[in-house]
Chain A
């Protein structure tokens, strides 16, 4: 199974994602430069965290026009699993692959800490191996992770069960105090209507080995490997 990790100018979690796929999971993985309009036959695409194009204009606003993004759009339209992490999530929002937008954290701090995130849905390629309601302890590192959607869009997200992760307490309770950035409905991650595109602000790729404090993020990568090996979310090529 092959992971493509897209590298934008300013990505800084690309090697973490690559390491998780290649060395922790032992899968094939390749870094793909944003100007290459070729995903190298990948089965999974990851848009990593960082500050693509310096976050100039708005987070993700310029990255969405990179040549590789047309390929990511095609890959996603064909049902392929795409994971956007942090800045990758922001790029997916700007590209219209996921609904909503990011505002600056309501606390006006860059939040860099481990948080608890509750898995809301397990019928996506990146949460299939999770238990419903499972709480993951994974880090966040962002200044602009305050998820916003217009009321009708938010209602549709909730109705379609597209909210995949919510900030919660360690016990799994969704509270205002557990919300690090002001995200509406404590939303930490969502999926597309067809469920194959997932974006989240926390960094599962930075929590794949106990040596770095938590291995709770590994389940996202295990999920997609399992899902694909069982024939789900495989793109027709």
Chain B
């Protein structure tokens, strides 16, 4: 749960970085290249109908923003990786990539 406005966190700059503002992890889940993507193909066809013939292929994926209480970017990345491996992505058909926003 978020701290209420005006709480003491801004007055205590000596605390660890992650204990104040959560770090944002961005998780990109995409179908593995070997897996057919009927949705992406249909989106590509729609774009062609609209005249965007330069768009040769579309692959549709999922994007998640996780706000994580962590003391470092490495810890946030590790936690996001666990979340992606266990839940956000299905390793049979999908792979994932994680970015942590610069603090």
Do A103 and B90 have beta carbons less than 8 Å apart? no
A134 within 8 A of B: no
In the complex, chain B residues 74-103 whose Cβ is within 8 Å of any chain A Cβ: 87-88, 90, 92-93
Q: How far is the CB of A183 from chain B (nearest CB, A)?
A: 11
Do A57 and B88 have beta carbons less than 8 Å apart? yes
Do A101 and B36 have beta carbons less than 8 Å apart? no
List A contacts of B37 (CB < 8 A). 103
Do A106 and B36 have beta carbons less than 8 Å apart? yes
With A101-B93, A103-B93, A108-B42 given, is the CB distance from A148 to B88 under 8 Å? no
A106 to B38, CA, bound (A): 5
List A contacts of B36 (CB < 8 A). 103, 106, 148, 182
| Interface residue tally on A, bucketed by range | 20 to 34
A139 to B68, CA, bound (A): 45
Do B93 and A108 have beta carbons less than 8 Å apart? no
List A contacts of B90 (CB < 8 A). 58, 61, 94, 101
Q: Mark B59-75, 1 if CB is under 8 A from A, else 0.
A: 00000000000000000
Do B92 and A100 have beta carbons less than 8 Å apart? yes
With A61-B87, A106-B36 given, is the CB distance from A148 to B93 under 8 Å? yes
Q: How many A-B residue pairs have CB under 8 A?
A: 38
Q: How far is the CB of A194 from chain B (nearest CB, A)?
A: 20
A146 to B35, CA, bound (A): 11
| Least CB separation from A100: chain B residue | B92
Do B92 and A149 have beta carbons less than 8 Å apart? yes
B19 within 8 A of A: no
Q: How far is the CB of A89 from chain B (nearest CB, A)?
A: 14
In the complex, chain A residues 75-130 whose Cβ is within 8 Å of any chain B Cβ: 93-94, 99-101, 103-108
With A148-B93, A149-B92 given, is the CB distance from A105 to B38 under 8 Å? yes
Do A108 and B92 have beta carbons less than 8 Å apart? no
A182 to B41, CA, bound (A): 14
With A101-B93, A148-B92 given, is the CB distance from A108 to B39 under 8 Å? yes
List B contacts of A61 (CB < 8 A). 87, 90
Candidates B34, B38, B87, B92; contact of A104 at CB < 8 Å: B38
| Least CB separation from A59: chain B residue | B90
Do B92 and A150 have beta carbons less than 8 Å apart? yes
Could you jot down 7 A-B contacts, CB within 8 Å? A61-B87, A103-B36, A103-B38, A103-B93, A107-B38, A148-B92, A182-B38
Which residues of chain B have a CB within 8 Å of any CB of chain A?
Answer: 34-39, 42, 87-88, 90, 92-93
